[in-house]
Amino acid sequence: MEFTILQLVRENALASPTRLSQALDITLPGVKMWLDRLEGRKLLRRKIRDADRRSHKLELTREGLQLVTTALDQLLLADESVVQLLSPGERLMLIELLDKVSQAQRIEAAAAA
């Protein structure tokens, strides 16, 4: 969960506790618990937004950015080594299957909304 939160904050300039709650489909108190942990480890900080002082902007610290970058690099290397075991045809099949699962999840999410 920590990696996912750090990565979402890294990739989304508008990241906020509320948006993370929606994206991760967990309660706002649950998100705040994770944010407290990450903030306690000095990986992330919350800042009050200038435009709406009731809302917080999330930012990675230098340490948080370094950690998530290193973790992502390691994850991509691990994925690469696994994919190398597949033939070109198997890789295409995997892409098609993952795309099918992704589309089904989007349809399910849209129906639930």
pLDDT tens digits for 7-50?
999 998 888 898 899 889 899 999 999 999 999 999 999 888 77
Q: Is 74 helix (H, G, I), strand (E, B) or coil?
A: helix
Q: State phi, psi for 26 to the nearest 5 degrees.
A: -130, 160
Q: What kind of fold does domain 2-112 have according to CATH?
A: Arc Repressor Mutant, subunit A (1.10.10)
- The domain limits of the chain are 2-112
Q: How many Å apart are CA 104 and CA 57, to the nearest integer?
A: 32
* Nearest in space to 24 (alpha carbons), one of 6, 45, 49: 6
- The pTM for the full model equals 0.71
Q: What does each C-alpha distance from 20 to 6, 57, 60 come to in angstroms?
A: 10, 11, 14
